[in-house]
Amino acid sequence: MNLLKVQGVGKIFGGLAAVRDLSFTIKKGVIAGLIGPNGAGKTTVLNLASGVLTPNQGKIFLKEKDITALKPHSVTKLGLARTFQATTLFSARTAVENICLGRHCRGKAGFWGTLFNTVLARQDEKMDRQKALELLSFMKLDSFQDVPAQNLSHGNQRRLGVAIALAADPELILLDEPMTGMNPAETAEMMDLILRIRDMGITVLLVEHDMKAVMGLCDRIVVINYGQKIAEGTPAEIQKNGEVIEAYLGAEYTFAHR
């Protein structure tokens, strides 16, 4: 089943096409990669899929449902969560509070229930906390439960960012350069984490510059350049693709040394 279907999507910024006639699909249960040189439009694609931007052309479907015009919070509620390229957290709040906020859309009590603190509202809060603690231990962040996010190390902050996204119980998670600024040990840990996320049954779309990570993790890769798809296939196919190598200019080097 196609979990995400991007169909002929185009996005124009002031006359400049950031994404042009882009189509690809992501099957349920895979780790998919989206790569391309700097400025190729990868983050724009994520912004389009997650509802931050609305495309000028084309349509985007999540589980066959048209999400093209939906706002981010609705897209998240439908099961597509994402992380940000820069480490974005609720910095003054504790780790556990950060994750609870990520679960907000799963609340059942509604406004009046919350105002009057009904049984349902208290259940919501209990579930938030339970899920948050689960995710903290999944991320090996247990010991930082009550530490303000801003006091965490870079690696921990990035993992917390992923935890916020996971808190919404997504079926598809978009990870925007999760390894940026990480040391090799942290990168290895993040790779392991992504595999464990896949094993939880959550489909992953990974945007990443670390080719070793991308080639090692992904089942399928989409390559874009100047907002257009130039290749799609398994890591082995992508590494042999002449157009991809040309677009990367030196990426050949990276591939060779994996």
Partner 1 sequence: MNRKGIPPIRIFSITAVLVVLFIIPLIIRDQYYQHLMILTGLAIIATVSLNLVLATGQLSIAQAAFVGIGAYCSTLLVLKIGLTFWLAFPIAGAAAGGVGVLIGLPTLKMRGVYFAIATFAFGELVRMVFTNWVSLFGGVGGILNIPAPNPIPFFGGALYFQTKGSFYYLVLLVMLITILVNYRLLHSRIGMAFQAIEEAEALAEQSGIPVMKYKLLAFLISSIFTGLAGSLYAHYSHYIAPGFFSFWESVHFIIMAVIGGVGTVGGPVIGAVFLTLLPEVFRATKEYEMVIYAIALITVVLFLPKGLMGLLKRVTNGRGE
Q: Identity (one letter) of the amino acid at 90?
A: F
By C-alpha distance, which of 47, 57, 67, 54 is closest to 22?
57
Q: Which is nearer to partner 1, 19 or 168 (CB)?
A: 168
For position 186 contacting partner 1 by CB under 8 A, the verdict is no
The stretch among 5-13, 87-95, 183-191, 200-208 that binds partner 1 (CB under 8 A) is 87-95
For position 88 contacting partner 1 by CB under 8 A, the verdict is yes
3-state SS string for 132-148:
HHHHHHHCCCHHHCCCE
CA end-to-end span of the chain, whole Å? 32
Q: Figure out which of the listed residues 6, 168, 211, 215 binds partner 1, where binding follows CB under 8 A.
A: 168
The CB-of-198 to partner 1 minimum distance in angstroms stands at 21
CA distance 66 to 200: 25
Q: Figure out which of the listed residues 60, 95, 124, 238 binds partner 1, where binding follows CB under 8 A.
A: 124
> How many residues form the binding site for partner 1 (CB under 8 A)?
40
For position 91 contacting partner 1 by CB under 8 A, the verdict is yes
Q: What's the CA angle centered on 163, arms 31 and 129, to 5 degrees?
A: 140
Write out the two tokens for 48: 């389009």
Core vs surface per residue 209-246: b (16+ CB within 10 A) or e? bbbbbbbebbebbbbbbebbbbbbeebeebbebeebbe
For position 32 contacting partner 1 by CB under 8 A, the verdict is no
Q: Which is nearer to partner 1, 95 or 191 (CB)?
A: 95
The stretch among 1-9, 36-44, 164-172, 200-208 that binds partner 1 (CB under 8 A) is 164-172
Task: Give the residues lining the site for partner 1 (CB under 8 A).
Answer: 50, 52, 71-74, 76-77, 81-82, 84, 88-93, 97, 100-107, 109, 111, 114-117, 121, 124-125, 128, 164-165, 167-168
